Structure formats: structure tokens, C-alpha cells
Amino acid sequence: MRPQTFTLACHPATPAHRVEAVTGRLTPEADWVRLRWRIDGAQDLVVPPFAGKGRADNLWQRTCFELFVADPDGEAYAEFNLSPSERWAAYDFTARREGMTERPAPREPVCTMRVGETMAIFDAAIPRAALPAMPWRCGISAVIEEEGGHKSYWALTHAGEAPDFHDPACFTLAVAAPQAA
């Protein structure tokens, strides 16, 4: 399948200090779904320290990258939180913020962060077996922490007065099921 590019918008209630843009791409492959977020204006980016692979809750309280995957016709969705610390989390919801359970993952996601002078790249690979069956409505987002504890919230779109990545209105990226060969 072809990569799909995306551009995230900063929620107007939480403007960034120096971050100028967050863009990226989602690439479904046979065994993995690869995501890349590029942060321009990353001079003051706060990157969580390395913690090693493993599940962890509350990753969104620091710089964190998120993927929401929903069935195009239903209310249920899965959430994946991916941290530059290499920690991750995966949850299932029956509806918006309801029925949360830990989502099983047969293999751990792979997370890699590279930071330059003014730009940073966060790459993640999620095992396809950890994801719901395609097609999907996706929400892609990021919590960006800058020096001084300032956080900005980035998503494909924002629907309310406060950032809410769980709002189904934010799941705007359509990913089709692969075509049979």
C-alpha cells in the first residue's frame, strides 16, 4: 500500500512556543504499520528519557505520539500511545472514552526518535497483528512538550474548545483495506 501523508493542526487553545509544524506519513505494510512524525521548530522540544521497551500508562503527559484506529461504520476504536522513551500503550474502547481495556499486542511497537538543531523525527512501527482489521478511520495526533513544561496538542483536526483526541470527528484519515492480488 502507498504511504499516506498528513499534516497536524495545533489546537488554538494550546499554541506552541517554537514548534512550527508537525507533519508525517502512515505506511501500511504486510507485517507492520509504519508512522513518521516530523516536528519543525524543535529547538525547545522536551524528549522523555529512554526507559526501554514496555507498556506504560499516562504517556500523553510528556511528548507522545498517538494513533487512533476505528472501524468506518462503528463507534469502537483502538488507541496506541507511542513515546520517544520507547514505552508504549494500546487500548480498546467500545465508544468515545467508554469501555477502555488493554489491547493485546503480540509484539511490541518499535519507537525511534532523532533530534536535530531545529527538526525532530519520531518513527514508530506497530505490528499489524496488534491492529484491528482494515479498513480504518484514523486519528493521528501528538502531544508536544517544550521547555518550561509548555504543552501543545496537535491532531488532524480539532472539533471542540479543548483538545480531545478521542473525538470521532478527529478520525479523518481513511485507510482502505489492501486489495487482493
In the chain, what are the domain boundaries?
Answer: 4-175
What residues pair up with 39 in beta bridges, in sequence order? 22, 120
Could you give the CA distance from residue 28 to residue 143 in angstroms, rounded to a whole number? 23
Contacts 24+ apart (CB under 8 A), 1-8: 1/27, 1/28, 1/29, 1/176, 1/178, 2/27, 3/27, 4/173, 4/175, 6/140, 6/156, 6/173, 8/37, 8/140, 8/141, 8/142, 8/154, 8/155, 8/156
Topology of the domain comprising 4-175? Immunoglobulin-like (2.60.40)
Predicted structure pTM score: 0.95
Are the C-beta atoms of residues 46 and 64 closer than 8 Å to each other? no
Q: What is the DSSP letter of 150?
A: E
Cell readout for 148 is 518550561
Taking Cα atoms as reference points, which of 150, 173, 84 lies closest to residue 120? Answer: 84
**Predicted pLDDT at 107:** 95
- Give the per-residue pLDDT at 178: 66
Q: Is 151 exposed, middle or buried (0-12, 13-18, 19+ CB in 10 A)?
A: middle
In angstroms, the CA 122 to CA 61 distance is 17
Strand 87-93 with 54-55, pairing: parallel
**What is the residue-level pLDDT of the chain in tens, covering all 181 positions?**
689 999 999 999 999 999 999 999 999 998 999 999 999 999 999 999 999 999 999 999 999 999 999 988 889 999 999 999 999 999 999 999 999 999 999 999 999 999 999 999 999 999 999 999 989 999 999 999 999 999 999 999 999 999 999 999 999 999 987 654 4
Q: Are 68 and 93 in contact (CB under 8 A)?
A: no
**What pLDDT, on a 0 to 100 scale, did the predictor assign at position 181?**
46
